[in-house]
């Protein structure tokens, strides 16, 4: 079982969550051109190791949370100061 550590609900089964991908800052809509948007949409960092991600706790607090997870071991922890 893989656990995601929700800052509101504590460690819960990953099946309760929806994975929404790497937490990359969104380009500035007023100034970003097609290139920045495509880069943002298509080019994830895809690291082997620690990555900061957004998850949606759909079967729990129903909030988007920011989690730091190791893509090799699936160990995770909430990121302090992330959106909660």
DSSP states of 29-84 as a string?
A: TTT--HHHHHHHHH-----SSEEEEEEE-TTTT--EEEEEEETTT--EEEPTTS--
From residue 14 to residue 53, the character string flagging contacts with another protein as x (rule: CB under 8 A) and all else as - is xx--xx-x-----x------xxx-xx-xxxx-x-x--x-x
Rounded to the nearest whole angstrom, what is the least distance from the CB of residue 10 to another protein in the complex? 19
Cβ neighbors of 75 (< 8 A, separation 6 or more) are 69
Q: Which of 8, 10, 72, 83 binds another protein (CB under 8 A)?
A: 72
- Residue 9 vs 14, nearer CB to another protein: 14
- Residue 44 vs 83, nearer CB to another protein: 44
């Amino acid at each position: 079982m893989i656990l995601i550590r929700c800052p509101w609900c504590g460690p819960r089964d990953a099946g309760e969550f929806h994975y929404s991908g790497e937490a990359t800052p969104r380009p500035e809509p007023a100034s970003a051109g097609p290139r920045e948007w495509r880069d943002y949409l298509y080019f994830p960092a895809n690291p082997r190791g620690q990555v900061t991600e957004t998850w949606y706790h759909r079967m729990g607090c129903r909030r988007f949370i920011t989690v730091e997870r190791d893509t090799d071991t699936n160990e995770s922890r909430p990121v302090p100061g992330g959106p909660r």
